[in-house]
Amino acid sequence: MTEIWQGLVAAFWLVVTLDKDLVEITLRSLQVTITAVLIACALGMPMGAWLAIQRFRYRRTVIAILNALMGLPPVVVGLIVYLFLSRAGPFGALNLLFSPTAMIIAQVIIVTPLVASISHQAVRDLWADYHDLLISLNATKRQRMATLLIDGRRALLTAALAGFGRAVGEVGAIIIVGGNIDHVTRVLTTAIALETSKGNFALALGLGFVLIGLAIAVNICIHALSRTEREGTW
Amino acid sequence: MKKLVTALVAFVVFAQAAIADPLVLRLAVTTSFHNSGLSDILLPRALEDLDLDVQLLVVGTGQAIRLGEAGDVDAILVHSRAAEEAFVANGFGSHRREIMYNDFVLVGPSDDPAGVTGSDGIAAALTRIADTRAVFVSRGDDSGTHRREQSLWNQADIDTEAADPAWYRAAGAGMGATLNTASGMNGYVLTDRASWLNFANTANLAIVFQGDPALFNQYAYLPVNPVRHPHVKADLAITLEGWLASPGIQALIGSYEINGQKLFVPNATTDGMAKQG
Amino acid sequence: MVTDILPLIVRDAKVRMRGKTIVGPIDLDLSGTGVTVVMGPNGAGKTTLLRMLHGLARLSSGTIDWAIPVQQAQTRQGFVFQTPIVLRRSVRDNIAYPLVLHGVARKEARARADHWGTRVGLADMLMRPARVLSGGEKQKLALARALIRDPSVLFLDEPTASLDGRSMREIETILLTAAHEGTRIVMATHNMGQAKRLAQEVIFLYRGLVHERNHAAAFFAGPAKPEAAAFIKGDIVE
């Protein structure tokens, strides 16, 4: 239990002294995660919106599969991506393994179903509301999707933040495809894993508290920048 | 909203630092080697001496070998002779070069309930633990350390597969975490000396047996076979190998210590000839 | 503004849902100018009839023909729902929305939205988020939004059903002005007074069928069918 206190102290000192390694892995964590989330949103939100408004035969099955994919174990995703990117695998020649790009790829695969699923639900609710109006105004399918995505921005922001939360704390996939190489692919979560395996629980906890603080800071920042609490806008 | 997206995109773009080091070598090493802290000394020195950026992937022995087989790394540094010889024999590694060795020690409760201290060999020590059913914590993760532990039990004719989990506990974890488990359970554990010296949470544990040659832990460097994987940086791998075996670096390895205790015995032969398995 | 999509010719049109015929078969011709009020007891199918004519409810059988192809005809119509649907944006952007959908530049669309917003009495609300408006204000927004495209035909489904007297009067004024300017108005209501104030023509709908159709004065003076008479009197008509 003393390690929790030691962890808090370690976190405090690391942050206050702007420890060089800490800054480096924190920035890399943010870079990988934010890139992955942006790509996942670009893929998942239109996907979710499209599923909400397009009627087709196997729609219910597709939605069920999409929801199930939210529970993809990250380690399994990591292994599969590794096998694809490995030199012995089909995309080995791209030389992407053990790079931040490989980590981003793995995280996009993990986060997109989550974003798509939440977006789908949000758009579906809004579509039920807007349905008659948009049809009456002869909006094309693309226009409907655009309107739903824009007007549903509050719930979509939640989807993006959920995706961010999932990605920033993820370690199983990125440690396999990234290799946790110092100064190349080491991020907060993989550093925590390494310190834990070495038995340095206090330092691991310290890094963990920094990670939690980072996630909180990002969320507050996003909410401030987008002024979600301003009356009526959302 | 536009402001937000612009900020995010700007951040992502500007944060893309290009690491364009012309000489990069990927080396998979075992966690126990990394735990010793020796790599923190060697890597900057390699950069200085050879202008070579050695990227370490710190993984278990099994995974290191798997990465070498796939050609995802240029060389591996592990401590599991049988697996290494198979690696070369199957054409994945070009050869095997011994670099240095350290040793394993048997750690346990300082009051030594199994009466291990003073045994005339590691086999005898382990037999005493099995006979008294004293708590023993194993790595259980197919790592180099774990495989060594298994072979020692085998030599003592003790079957740990069938052992009662009441005393034989497979942690399935890295060395540090396993030591923590042993500390918490006040049990016996086999560990490499470096990890033990670096371990902070010793509680009631102490070294109870050491010195048997069967506990020596040989580290070997194996370049990945360029015939099998033409893309690997074979020449860089050989350069690093030569550097590790060079008198200056061997002396550096020999002088490395933790808390005043020396850890490694350098034993690379400098005849320059590739040492076949 | 030309009522170029009329005449509307409806033949044998039926809407069925879950095996039941909600509305139909309907034979109807719509042309000319002015206000047609669709009346009838609750459950008669007024909403479904309007949605059917506008194209929101799928025809189970029969035909609905405008003077021009239905795709184009739809862009010349407007619809005001009983419960106003407002987008999560400002009042001005709500009103401008149909123009933007059709490729009008945002700046011009907003200018025209400001004009219409002022016409319906929402001048000092234009920049406010539409969701915070009261019921009456939202319905005026919906009306402005429906009228901004200068429709040939405007359908309204009980637009003032839950509004206070003042809002009702303001909306009726706007409707009369629009009718005067040439928009053909088809409106469902069960407010007798409103019908008398606005209608040139009345369609009495009963159990999904057009029971009676007549000029307003004639209808209110002496409806032909007993159900219509009972309805006007205020009796419950099942």
Domain boundaries, given as residue ranges, for chain A? 2-226
Query: Which residue in this structure is represented by tokens 């000489």?
Result: B23
Q: Tell me if C73 sits within 8 A of C50, measured CB to CB.
A: no
Contact yes or no for C101 and A234 at CB 8 A: no
Residues forming a β-bridge with C157? C188
Residue C168 CA to residue C186 CA, distance in Å, equals 17
Summarised one tens digit per residue, pLDDT across range B9-39 is 666 655 544 444 568 999 999 888 888 889 9
Residue A94 has a CB neighbour count (10 Å cut-off) of 13
Q: Where are the domains of chain B?
A: 22-101+217-266, 103-215
The structure's pTM equals 0.82
CATH of domain A2-226: 1.10.3720.10
Starting at the edge strand that comes first in sequence, how are the strands of the sheet with C184-188 ordered? C77-80, C153-157, C184-188, C35-39, C201-206, C209-215
Q: Where are the domains of chain C?
A: 8-86+151-233
Summarised one tens digit per residue, pLDDT across range A147-202 is 999 999 989 999 999 999 999 999 999 999 999 998 899 999 999 998 887 777 88
Q: Which residue of A has its CA nearest to C52?
A: A136
Q: Which CATH architecture has domain B22-101+217-266?
A: 3-Layer(aba) Sandwich (3.40)
Is B163 a residue whose pLDDT tops 70? yes
Summarised one tens digit per residue, pLDDT across range B94-134 is 999 999 998 999 999 988 888 888 888 999 999 999 999 99
DSSP-derived 3-state class of residue B167: coil
Contact yes or no for B231 and A179 at CB 8 A: no
Nearest to B4 among A180, A198, A225 (CB): A225
Residue C103 CA to residue A137 CA, distance in Å, equals 13
Please tell me the predicted confidence (pLDDT) of residue C1: 46
Contact yes or no for B35 and A198 at CB 8 A: yes
Contact yes or no for A151 and C79 at CB 8 A: no
Residue C177 has a CB neighbour count (10 Å cut-off) of 12
Please tell me the predicted confidence (pLDDT) of residue B203: 77
Q: Which residue of B has its CA nearest to A86?
A: B72
Residue C88 CA to residue A129 CA, distance in Å, equals 11
Residue A52 CA, chain-centre distance (Å), reads: 22
The number of C-beta contacts closer than 8 angstroms across A and B is 87
Please tell me the predicted confidence (pLDDT) of residue A230: 61
Q: Tell me if A210 sits within 8 A of A11, measured CB to CB.
A: yes
Q: Does C100 touch chain A (CB under 8 A)?
A: no
ipTM value, please give it. Answer: 0.90
Report whether CATH 3.40.50.300 matches the domain C8-86+151-233. Answer: yes
Q: Look at the domain B103-215 and name its fold.
A: D-Maltodextrin-Binding Protein; domain 2 (3.40.190)
Q: Tell me if C160 sits within 8 A of C194, measured CB to CB.
A: yes
Please give chain C's pLDDT, 238 residues, in tens.
455 888 999 999 999 988 889 898 999 999 888 899 999 888 888 999 999 999 999 999 999 999 999 888 999 999 999 999 999 999 999 999 999 999 999 999 999 999 999 988 899 999 999 999 998 899 999 999 999 999 999 999 999 888 888 888 989 999 999 999 989 999 999 888 899 999 999 999 988 899 889 998 888 888 888 888 888 888 877 7
